[in-house]
């Protein structure tokens, strides 16, 4: 009779670009195994075979590229700036993280979290004096999570500085 779901309808077939398109939430239960189709990469010059359906970019690279393009289209979006700063920092692109965090602070000059995140990026970029200045401003604006500051690995390069210890309320 009918093959496929209990309603008698066959499951929809999807383009081979996504190797998991037909698996659904529960896998391929009740479906015949298909011969594997090698995914293809779309390029401006036509279709080109590739081992990954999204090319050679990793997910983090793809996300960074996506948010960089969003930033070009809408440079005033705080959400885009926050996300992009997080992504480039995670990738280790510290100079870019500092640039994006500075853009965010320009848009939100009274935001203590924006200042704190800028301080973290500056510390990771080996700019300790600027990091301390930004951290001091964050504290002045109301950032008060001293416990987090004390254990935040982004601030490791500042740990032994007297001005950092003073921000934590400790003496040298």
Which phi and psi angles does 46 have, rounded to 5°?
A: 110, -155
Residue 54's pLDDT is: 55
**Beta strand pairing status for 46-49 and 40-43?**
antiparallel
* Bridge partners, 40 (sequence order): 49
Which CATH number is 92's domain given?
1.25.40.10
Specify whether 25 is located in the same domain as 84: no
Residue 68's pLDDT is: 87
Q: Which residue has the higher pLDDT, 33 or 162?
A: 162
pLDDT tens for residues 100-157?
999 999 999 999 999 999 999 999 999 999 999 999 999 999 999 999 999 999 999 9
Specify whether 40 is located in the same domain as 94: no
Examine residue 69 and state whether it is found in any structural domain, yes or no. yes
Specify whether 69 is located in the same domain as 14: no
pLDDT tens for residues 26-77?
444 444 444 444 444 444 444 444 445 556 778 988 888 888 898 899 888 9
Count of domains for the chain = 2
Specify whether 87 is located in the same domain as 155: yes
Residue 23 has pLDDT above 90, yes or no: no
Angle at 99 between CA 70 and CA 142, to 5 degrees: 100
Specify whether 97 is located in the same domain as 20: no
**Residue 9 burial by Cβ neighbours in a 10 Å radius (0-12, 13-18, 19+):** exposed
Examine residue 140 and state whether it is found in any structural domain, yes or no. yes
Examine residue 35 and state whether it is found in any structural domain, yes or no. yes
Examine residue 86 and state whether it is found in any structural domain, yes or no. yes
Which phi and psi angles does 42 have, rounded to 5°?
A: -85, 130
**C-alpha to C-alpha distance for 65 and 44, rounded to whole angstroms:** 18
The end-to-end CA distance of the chain, in Å, is 81
Q: Which residue has the higher pLDDT, 72 or 1?
A: 72
Examine residue 107 and state whether it is found in any structural domain, yes or no. yes
CA gyration radius, the chain: 24
| Structural domain range at position 100 | 59-167
Examine residue 172 and state whether it is found in any structural domain, yes or no. no
Residue 171 has pLDDT above 70, yes or no: no
User: What is the band of 163 on the pLDDT scale with cuts at 50, 70, 90?
Assistant: very high
Residue 86's pLDDT is: 92
């Amino acid at each position: 009779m009918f093959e496929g779901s209990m309603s008698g309808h066959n499951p929809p077939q999807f383009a081979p670009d996504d190797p998991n398109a037909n698996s659904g939430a529960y896998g391929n239960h009740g479906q015949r195994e298909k011969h594997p189709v090698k995914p293809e990469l779309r390029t401006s010059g036509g279709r080109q075979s590739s081992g990954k359906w999204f090319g050679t970019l990793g997910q983090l690279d793809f996300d960074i590229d996506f948010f960089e393009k969003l930033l070009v289209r809408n440079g005033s979006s705080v959400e885009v700036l926050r996300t992009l700063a997080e992504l480039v920092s995670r990738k280790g692109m510290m100079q870019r993280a500092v640039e994006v965090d500075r853009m965010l602070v320009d848009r939100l000059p009274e935001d203590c979290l924006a200042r704190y995140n800028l301080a973290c990026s500056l510390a990771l970029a080996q700019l300790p004096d600027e990091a301390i200045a930004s951290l001091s401003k964050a504290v002045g604006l109301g950032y008060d999570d001293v416990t987090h500051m004390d254990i935040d690995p982004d601030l490791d390069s500042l740990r032994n500085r007297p001005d950092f210890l003073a921000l934590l309320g400790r003496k040298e």
